[in-house]
Amino acid sequence: MDYLQLGNSDLHVSRLCLGTWNMGGSKGWGPEDDERSIELIRRTQDSGCNFFDTAHAYGRGHAEQVLGRALAEGDRRSRAVISTKILQCEPATVEEQLDAALERLQTDYVDLYIVHWPREGHDLEAFFKTMNQMKEKDKARWIGVSNFNIEQMRLAARHGVVSLQPPYNILWRIIEPQVLPFCRENNIGITPYSPLAQGLLTGRFSRSTEKTTGIRRKNVLFKEPVFSKAREAASVVDEIADQHGCTSSQIALAWLLHTDGVTAPIVGISRWNQWQDNLGALDVRLSDGEHERLSRVGMEVWDMLPEDATMWD
């Protein structure tokens, strides 16, 4: 496993981050077996992963509880970098919500406390001041954000934010015009979620005629005419994967890992072999031409969507 410094923080995180959305047992991905999830978390840590992402929104805190149980064993907590997220709310409730998250996580601090979504009508400046008070109280070591646009990022940077968690993959390029260059210039680490475009870049839908089911039916990438174009782009991912003798998922992750500014893609798993496959991406070396070709076919999909597109209905 390779490790990188996360933005301007003193955190050194593994190049792959384990996400726990599917471990929350909430609607969307369906229920998961908690004991299996705990085993997976521990096995990923034993494989070299030290970066774990969760949120109160994942099963109303259930994913935090699962992660807390997994890392409570022995010295696992001290070897982990934990990020959790809070929806922007009234500043007066931030500490109460963080305390509840710390109890679920069985720890007295989080390494990275992330604003999950900014909300219109709420004072973002006042919210960041309260978030930084959590740093002063040693309840959060660093502050991050998720799903922020360029104006929000400029404000966030003034308050010492060290990371951005955006949707970003070969097909979904919303951060590239302004946000990605800003983060590079200001040394704000990028930890993309949905790196495999909800499975579109795994070969699952491009190498077969599998139909869209479940939560994916709400994803704009899975709706026509975008879906057909996305499958064409995914076929190029498959082609390059075949040439490298690896999986489509590994190529899609390698594209991110070789994109300047990206620190650690966030990947979710429900089986151990999925994590093993993800690890293989660290050994893939794309040529500049291959990276450019993937960027080009992915942009053809992105160009079908409005500039302010949201992934979910």
Find the helix or strand (DSSP H, E) in which 268 lies: strand 266-268
The two structure tokens encoding residue 210: 């599998």
| pLDDT, tens digit (0-9, with 9 covering 90-100), for 227-237 | 999 999 999 99
Residue 303 lies in a domain: no
Average pLDDT value over all residues in the chain: 94
Parent domain of 90: 3-165
Q: So what's the pLDDT on residue 217? A: 82
Residue 272 lies in a domain: no
Domain with residue 84: its CATH number is: 3.20.20.100
Q: Which residue in 3, 58, 109, 113 is the catalytic one?
A: 58
State the pLDDT confidence band at 307, using cuts at 50, 70 and 90.
confident
For residues 74 and 65, what is the distance between their CA atoms, to the nearest angstrom?
17
Q: Which of 126, 128, 124, 93 is nearest to 113 (CA)?
A: 128
Q: So what's the pLDDT on residue 31? A: 54
* Mean pLDDT score, 196-211: 90
State the pLDDT confidence band at 214, using cuts at 50, 70 and 90.
confident
* Mean pLDDT score, 126-131: 96
| Nearest-10 crossing angle of helices 94-105, 124-136 | 50
Q: DSSP secondary-structure letter at 109?
A: -
| Residues 179/210, Cβ–Cβ less than 8 Å | no
Find the helix or strand (DSSP H, E) in which 233 lies: helix 226-244
State the pLDDT confidence band at 310, using cuts at 50, 70 and 90.
confident
State the pLDDT confidence band at 211, using cuts at 50, 70 and 90.
confident
Find the helix or strand (DSSP H, E) in which 21 lies: none
The two structure tokens encoding residue 88: 């922007």
Residue 288 lies in a domain: no
* Mean pLDDT score, 136-164: 97
Q: So what's the pLDDT on residue 255? A: 98
Residue 182 lies in a domain: no
| Residues 242/214, Cβ–Cβ less than 8 Å | no
For residues 269 and 202, what is the distance between their CA atoms, to the nearest angstrom?
13
| pLDDT, tens digit (0-9, with 9 covering 90-100), for 251-271 | 999 999 999 999 999 999 999
Residue 46 lies in a domain: yes
Residue type for 120, please?
E
Residue 213 lies in a domain: no
Residue 295 lies in a domain: no
Query: Is 193 one of the catalytic residues?
Result: no
Q: What percent of the chain has pLDDT over 70?
A: 98
End-to-end alpha carbon distance in the chain: 36
Q: So what's the pLDDT on residue 188? A: 98
Residue 284 lies in a domain: no
Q: For the chain, how many structural domains are there in total?
A: 1
